[in-house]
Structure 1
Amino acid sequence: MANDSLILAIDNGTQSVRALLFDKQGNLIGKGKQEIEPYFSEQPGWAEQHPEYFWHNLGLACEALWQSTSAKPEQVLGVTVTTQRGTVINLDKSGKPLRPAIIWLDQRHAKVDGPVKGPWGA
């Protein structure tokens, strides 16, 4: 396996951060998972998390991944990333976070007059 190319999939979910390693045929080679606190709320309707918290826990998930397999980081040919819906991290021009991430379930800009309606009904 030392010369085989692999894909690293990172999944930053609401309850954990996972690092998954796949071969080119789609077989799972190794995995690491780190449980997280999904968000904090200092104001009613707010849902935020510190970007550094996500980064730190991704590191822990990757450490667990590399301990679960004989594969080496040098074999990673590509990386995929998925996260929680519309989570936003505002960055300055050098890529540093300006504030905590705004998590997808944040409601500070939600304005609802009457029942919520959609194609599924009221």
Structure 2
Amino acid sequence: MTEAPAVAGVPAEAPAAREDRLFAALANATRREVLRLLRERGPQPVQALADHFAMRRPSLSEHLKVLREAGLVSEERAGRQRIYRLEAAPLADVQDWLHPYERFWHDRLKGLGDLLDRMPDDAET
């Protein structure tokens, strides 16, 4: 994952801590659903998001806080409403982290395919 710049007077956060916060945010099905809604429907006020869940609004607010702290959503105030927007950049960090595993499985499956191609067909009876 990329190194976060230090803010004046505040030390930069360790990459491992950012990774942990990001993966913890993505580990919850409700938070993943919030991200899906924001991806598919664009920025939305809290109430529009809350309408999709069978939970009290303060509970959803806690999920939104976790997503904000992970950098996955941003919040903008518009009058009395808070509008949430997907911030997809941290997901590129997840993809970067997963890439070696994708390569691993691609290589394994290619090796299996090569092995199967070398085996005689059972159709010859």
TM-score (norm 1): 0.28
Point out the structure with the larger strand share: 1
Point out the structure with the larger helix share: 2
Larger Rg: 2
Structure showing greater relative contact order (alpha-carbon pairs closer than 8 Å, 6 or more residues apart): 1
